[in-house]
Structures are given as structure tokens and as C-alpha cells.
A and B are shown apart, each in its own frame.
Chain A
């Protein structure tokens, strides 16, 4: 009889990253570990007492230079449910308004000995700059048009919940790919996990060379991208990042790249509709679809807390190993 040494079978997996700056930096195994931990964390969020003592005594600073409802609240709740002390700093109340540089702000925060700084910043790559300056761990909560790793992970978790796997799925990402950090993180994550990503959007919003990122196909029309797709991920039109010249009108955009009950029929009947929020109702997503049976938008938000708990947990545990 074959015997299993259960006590030794406990997985000796280790997360080897002090920072989580981009999914590009993470291996498939790293992402699998984060998703697996997130699945376990989800149970905590369904209890009456939604708190475990794991990160007791640790301090997490949420430094958000751009506005955010979901991500900041989600990181704050994630930290609190792991018993860490979380502090939120937003630009309107910080010294950034007095002209303090990012490096100075960060060094001053570091003097207060945080364990993790979760930052969102409008400049792509600002997290790499900070990770060389600070001793504490840094988690990217969105940097410019670069990456949004926690969103990528929670999207992958939501897809995995629905299909039980990520490999072999056809995932359509539709919208402003150029300015979307959500798209970049999802492309990096999903292609590494074996999904095939199809991109569609106005040519003015499609970055040249994006197909070099991996298993990515650039489609000439939305129809081509969403036909037989397992997942349709719609992106927000980011008017704050765009110039005026990228599209003539939102009505025209909606006609060619908006998801409505009609064109959703092109996707597989059990396809899931996703959106990172906030939704521009009636532009990229019609209200019918956003509130329909196939929409997983709120499920994404729910998974966000668990994924961010997993990220905080593993970043902290890595720091302990040193």
C-alpha cells in the first residue's frame, strides 16, 4: 500500500518577493500561491468575526495619489481583517499639495516605520523608484498606465471560481488598452496562466507591439474578439488620462466597442462579463449587461478583499524569512 506522509506533505511553498510591483515580475507558481491563499482568506470574510490575528502589530500605509474607492477600501479592509494597523493618506490631505516630492514624502513615512506601503500613483514605474529608496515592502495599487497587480489577481480568481481553471480560456479585453493598467496586469497574468487573450479597441487606443506580451491576439473588431469568448472583460474609458483626440464621441465609441445584450450573444452562452469599475453605464457597458446574470462585477469586488489579504500576508511573510 502506498503511504502518504501527510505531515510532511504540507506544501513548502515560499513567496520570494518583498514587493509586488507588477504581475510581470511574478512566476506562474507565485500567482498560483497567491490565488490559493486568497481562496482560503475568503472564508474569513464570510464569518461573523471577520478578523484573524496574523499581522498584529504591523503598520500598512495606503498612499493614494489618485482617487480610488474600491482599491483603497479593499486594501484597508484587507489589512484590518489581518489585524494590521492601516493608515490612509490621500493627496488632498498630504504635503504633496505643498510641493513635497514623492521621494521626500516616502522617506518621511518610512521614518514612522511602516511594514508595507500600498501606493497608487499616476506615474508609471513610480513604485520601482520607491522600492529602491525604502526598506519596507511596497505593493502597487496602480501606477499610471503600467500595472494594477491586485486587480489582475482578483480578476484571475473570479475567472477561476467560475471555470475552475485559467488555461485554455478565451478572454476578450475590450476598450482603451493603451491607458489601461488593468489590461496590462491581466495580459501578464492570464497569458502566464495559459489563457489566450484577445484585445479589441479603437486603433488609437491599441498600443503598438502589445501582441509581443505573450499569447495575445489583437483583433480588428469587437465582434472578432468576443466571438466564442469565455470571458468578456470591458475596460473603463479613462477620460482623465486621454487627450481629446482618441475618439470622436462616446456615442460612437459605444456603438463600436460597447457591450450590450445583442453582441454579448456572440460570446459563449455561459460567458462571464467583467469590469474593473467604475462603470460608465451606457458607454462601455449597457446597464442591462452590467446588472445581468452574466455580470461578475460585484463578485470581482468581493474577491478583491481576499486577494489583497493574500498579497499582504505573503509580502509580510517574505520579510520575516530574511
Chain B
């Protein structure tokens, strides 16, 4: 584990709340209401955020939005290198996705590989009319042609940095942290 050089708070509790409220409004605006809209969070951070988003949306529209979760472990393209270190989580989509406008929710958008895997998983549940992507943080460095429709905060990062979303005991997001780690070159110099 490289030494952590600095920690910066990108979003605090209030920042996250404002970002989620704005995303909730944007989802409603883009889809002209809630007709056929469902939220699907990606395990594990995205699941908590999807639940928070659904609460936001309900308080705006006075209407519940169906919310599910998807685990992408079995759909990863790096099974050969990462599978042994991940336990398989649970997917729970208790409604049909056929013809729905699905909003995928994740905490951090990075290479886009998680989203690719999640889309493969979604399509195994039915044929959605549309799939949109909502993320709390977009940190760049995409490796696939994937773009978020709703972004809480764009954060330019280097690959040596890491972005963490922290949750409290009630699984509510409380802060987004950018950690700068000493890269190998630095270590050699030190």
C-alpha cells in the first residue's frame, strides 16, 4: 500500500445532499416525470446512493420510484485477476425492466468497466427502453465509450489518486475524499 500523501474533501455531507437533490431534479426533468422510471444501484456504494436518490425523488414528486440493486461480480471482465478477492454480492431487482427507463446509480465513475458489466447484467433482466447513468463523482480516465447522464461532481484526477465515498452507519453518504498517493517514482526519489 503506497503511502498516502494528502487527503482532500471534495464533497461534505451538505455538498452530497445538494448534488443528490440536483440529480433528482435532473432525472425528473429529463424523463418528464416518473413514468416508467426505475433506479438500480450498483453494489455496494451505488445501492446506498440509489436509496437516497429515491427518497429525494419521493419528497419532490410525492411518488415512489421502484429501486433495485445489482451486483456485477459475475459480469466483470477481470475475473482472471480479481475474482478471488471478491465475494459475490446479491442482486435484487424485484420488478420487470422490460420497457422501463432505468437509471443506473454508482458512486464513482472511473474506467467505465463497472458500468459495462452492470449494463450486461441489466439486459439479462429484460430489455429496458432506455438506460441512463447517475454518478456522484466522475473522475475521468474512461477506458470504454461510456458517459454519465447525471453527475454530482466532475473531479479531474490522476491515476495515482483514489476517490473514496464514505458512508455512515445508516448507509448515508457523508463525504467524498480524494487521496493522493505517493507513486513509484516518488518512492524511488525518497
Contact = CB atoms under 8 A, between A and B. Distances in A.
A111 interface: no
Contacts, number: 89
A43 B91 contact: yes
Nearest to B77: A53
B120 A53 contact: yes
Max count, chain A CB within 10 A of own CB: residue among B44, B84, B92, B126: B84
Contact of B87 (A33, A49, A54, A316): A33
A1 B174 contact: yes
Interface string B156-190: 00000000111111000011000000000000000
B124 A11 contact: no
Contacts of A49: 124-125
Interface residues of B, number: 33
Interface string A283-322: 0000000000000000000000000001001001110110
A33 B87 CA distance: 8
Contacts of A40: 71, 87-91
Contact of B92 (A6, A14, A41, A43): A43
A4 B169 contact: yes
B169 A15 contact: no
A166 to B, nearest CB: 19
Interface string B44-87: 11001000000000000000000000010011000111011111
Contact of B166 (A5, A41, A43, A316): A5
Contacts of A10: 44, 86-87
A15 to B, nearest CB: 7
Given A51-B124, A320-B81, A7 B87 contact: no
A2 interface: yes
A6 B90 contact: no
B167 A320 contact: no
Contacts of A223: none
A48 B45 CA distance: 26
B88 A47 contact: no
A13 interface: yes
Given A2-B169, A53-B120, A320-B81, A11 B87 contact: yes
Interface in B36-50: 44-45, 48
A48 B125 contact: yes
A66 B166 CA distance: 53
A47 B74 CA distance: 15
SS class, residues of chain B in contact with chain A: mixed
Nearest to B163: A7
Contacts of B125: 47-49
Contact of A4 (B91, B92, B166): B166
Given A1-B174, A54-B74, A320 B87 contact: no
Nearest to A322: B84
A321 B84 contact: yes
B164 A37 contact: no
B25 to A, nearest CB: 26
A8 B107 CA distance: 14
B168 A1 contact: yes
A83 to B, nearest CB: 9
Contacts of B107: 7
A246 interface: no
Nearest to B44: A6
B90 A318 contact: no
16 contacts: A4-B169, A5-B164, A6-B45, A6-B166, A8-B164, A10-B87, A13-B87, A40-B89, A43-B92, A47-B124, A48-B125, A49-B125, A52-B124, A54-B79, A320-B80, A320-B81
Interface of A: 1-15, 33, 36-37, 39-41, 43-44, 47-49, 51-54, 82, 310, 313, 316-318, 320-321
